[in-house]
């Protein structure tokens, strides 16, 4: 399932990587959210009967678009694929082998990265992993989210881009979650937390099956254009949002994510009710995001005002002490967790921005082997 809008060149590379798959029994649903570029013609030009193009009835925010494309999927297992990512040629065969062997309802994996180095060069971040299967308990994954350590945690997270789930598990989420698989605001949070909560854990393939591309023009990376982009993509026209959090209407990723956490607890009280809201962790990661924006020259006056008002309410006017606690929290939280080993990373430099020129070279230099022992 590939939700997309105005990213025709990236979408073409994603589809080309799917045509390179050694496994052939799959269907691709491309949902074009009223693109103004060549997106529809890209799909048609591939002339692949496995590729199907659908269109939502109107422009949608990200969560609604992810929900829309999922309603068109008919396979036994479902997998999202970002339009700015590609798959290694062995990816779907690997998932098929794992499914045949284990029948796991939820399977996660890692993703490598291909990022901008400068205007002409790119860096391929290749992680060297074991290829082994590992059963991860739900509490290990969920506590990473609810303790606000997910951004830098080595615990694998079942994001839409890095997971595959059985259609029956998706239906269980829908039945308990207001008839939807994904609710606003952030699919990378709502989707994995709900799946892991109902499944009780995840089978993890310790291998990178996909490669995500990072571009300076991406909504998530272009900090200077963030307000209008985030409102358009994640929130939509509503005037009041994130009303479950201590800082309503604060347009920060950490605040949108926290509202999703609290929404999920309303949807799945039995599975998620034991995870307590951590106000120090919450405000610490709001401050972390504000610091990042400020360091990149973004005017955060409006956001900081809402942040300080929320902090003042929660700290009962003892704001100076609260700021000291936040700084201490961030200092210790930035340290890597010791209970999970970090994978070795290799950075490869390339003088091309075309990921499809690079992918065969990386596959030949780092052959993949799945360990089913």
**Strand (E) or helix (H) holding 163:** strand 163-166
Q: Are residues 30 and 110 in the same domain?
A: yes
Which residue would you say has higher pLDDT here, 79 or 123?
Answer: 79
Structure token digits, residue 99: 């499914």
pLDDT of residue 320: 66
* Of 18-32, 74-88, 150-164, 230-244, the least confident: 150-164
**Whether residue 182 is found in the same domain as residue 266:** no
Mean pLDDT for the stretch of residues 84-96: 96
Indicate if 110 and 244 belong to the same structural domain.
no
Residues 350 and 259 occupy one common structural domain? no
Per-chain mean pLDDT for the chain: 86
> In this structure, what DSSP letter does residue 225 have?
G
In a domain, 339, yes or no: no
Q: What is the band of 355 on the pLDDT scale with cuts at 50, 70, 90?
A: confident
pLDDT-derived band at 217, boundaries 50, 70, 90: very low
Residue 15 has pLDDT above 80, yes or no: yes
Residue 268: which pLDDT band, with cuts at 50, 70 and 90?
A: very high
Is the pLDDT score of 186 beyond 50? yes
Any idea what the CATH number is for the domain that residue 169 is in? 3.90.550.10
Same domain, 98 and 247: no
pLDDT of residue 327: 66
Overall number of domains in the chain: 2
Structure tokens at 347: 């950075």
The answer to the question of residue 176 being in a domain is yes
The percentage of the chain sitting over the pLDDT mark of 70, rounded to a whole number, equals 84
Helical segments of the chain, H only? 8-19, 39-45, 62-70, 91-102, 138-146, 167-176, 187-199, 226-230, 253-267, 269-272, 279-295, 301-315, 319-333, 355-365
Q: What is the pLDDT of residue 306?
A: 95
The whole-angstrom separation of Cα 295 and Cα 79 is 36
Least confident of 85-94, 175-184, 200-209, 346-355: 346-355
In a domain, 372, yes or no: no
Asked if residue 110 and residue 230 are part of one domain, the reply reads no
Residue with tokens 């998530």, as numbered in its chain:
220
Q: Is the pLDDT of residue 338 over 70?
A: no
For residues 34 and 173, state if they share a domain: yes
* pLDDT grade for 148, boundaries at 50, 70 and 90: low
Rounded average pLDDT over 73-101: 96
Range of the domain at 271: 223-333
Mean pLDDT, to the nearest integer, of 344-353? Answer: 80
- For residue 277, the model assigns a pLDDT of 84
pLDDT at 163: 94
Report the pLDDT value the prediction gives residue 219, as an integer from 0 to 100: 44
The pair of structure tokens assigned to 90 is 């062995």
169 has a pLDDT exceeding 70: yes
Q: Is the pLDDT of residue 343 over 70?
A: no
* Residue indicated by tokens 């921005």: 353
Asked if the structure places residue 134 within a domain, the reply is yes
316 and 284 belong to one structural domain: yes
Provide the 3-class DSSP secondary structure of residue 175.
helix
Q: 128: which residues sit within 8 A by CB, 6+ positions away?
A: 343, 344, 345, 346, 366
- pLDDT > 90: what percent of the chain? 58
Q: Does some domain include residue 338?
A: no
- pLDDT score of 69 more than 90: yes
Same domain, 36 and 81: yes
Q: What is the pLDDT averaged over residues 219-237? A: 66
164/274 same-domain check: no
Contact 62, 233 (CB under 8 A): yes
How close are the terminal C-alpha atoms of the chain, in Å?
A: 30
Q: What is the pLDDT of residue 353?
A: 75
Q: Is residue 373 part of a domain?
A: no
pLDDT per position as a tens digit, 272-328: 999 888 888 888 889 888 988 888 888 899 999 999 999 888 877 566 666 666 666
Is the pLDDT at 18 greater than 70? The verdict is yes
Band of pLDDT at residue 220, cut at 50, 70 and 90? very low
**Does pLDDT of 372 surpass 80?**
no
Local confidence band at 271 (pLDDT 50, 70, 90 cut-offs): very high
Residue 27 has pLDDT above 80, yes or no: yes
Asked whether residue 162 is assigned to any structural domain, the reply reads: yes
- Domain contains 297: yes
Q: Is the pLDDT of residue 360 over 70?
A: yes
Shared domain for 207 and 123, answered yes or no, is yes
Give the whole-angstrom CA distance, residue 334 versus residue 278: 16
Same domain for 92 and 15: yes
Please say if the pLDDT value at position 361 is more than 50: yes
Q: What is the pLDDT of residue 239?
A: 79
Find the mean pLDDT for residues 10-33.
96
Mean pLDDT over 329-351 rounds to 61
């Amino acid at each position: 399932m590939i939700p997309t809008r105005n990213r025709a060149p990236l979408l073409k590379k994603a589809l080309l990587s799917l045509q390179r798959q050694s496994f052939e029994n799959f269907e691709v649903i491309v949902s074009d959210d009223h693109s103004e570029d060549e997106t529809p013609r890209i799909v048609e030009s591939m002339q692949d009967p496995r590729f199907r193009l659908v269109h939502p009835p109107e422009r949608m925010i990200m969560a609604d678009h992810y929900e829309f494309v999922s309603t068109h999927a008919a396979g036994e297992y479902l997998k999202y694929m970002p339009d700015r990512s590609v798959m290694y040629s062995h990816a779907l065969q690997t998932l098929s082998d794992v499914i045949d062997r284990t029948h796991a309802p939820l399977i996660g994996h890692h993703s490598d990265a291909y990022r901008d180095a400068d205007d002409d060069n790119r860096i391929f971040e290749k992680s060297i992993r074991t290829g082994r299967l590992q059963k991860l308990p739900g509490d290990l994954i969920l506590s990473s989210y609810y303790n606000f350590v997910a951004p830098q945690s080595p615990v694998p997270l079942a994001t839409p881009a890095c997971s595959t789930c059985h259609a029956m598990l998706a239906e269980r989420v829908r039945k308990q979650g207001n008839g939807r698989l994904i609710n606003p605001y952030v699919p990378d949070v709502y989707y994995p937390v709900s799946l892991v909560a109902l499944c009780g854990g995840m089978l993890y393939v310790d291998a990178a099956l996909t490669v995500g591309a990072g571009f300076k023009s991406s909504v998530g990376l272009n900090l200077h254009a963030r307000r209008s982009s985030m409102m358009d993509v994640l929130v939509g026209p509503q005037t009041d949002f994130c009303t479950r959090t201590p800082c309503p209407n604060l347009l920060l990723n950490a605040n949108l994510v926290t509202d999703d956490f609290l929404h999920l607890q309303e949807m799945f009280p039995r599975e998620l009710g034991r995870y307590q809201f951590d106000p120090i962790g919450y405000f610490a990661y709001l401050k972390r995001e504000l610091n990042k924006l400020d360091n990149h020259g973004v005017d955060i006056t409006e956001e900081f005002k809402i942040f300080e008002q929320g902090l003042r309410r929660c700290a009962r006017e003892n704001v100076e002490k609260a700021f000291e606690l936040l700084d201490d929290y961030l200092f210790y939280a930035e340290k890597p967790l010791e209970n999970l080993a970090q994978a070795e990373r290799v950075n490869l430099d390339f003088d091309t921005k075309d990921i499809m020129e690079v992918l065969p070279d990386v596959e030949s230099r780092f052959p993949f082997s799945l360990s089913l022992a």
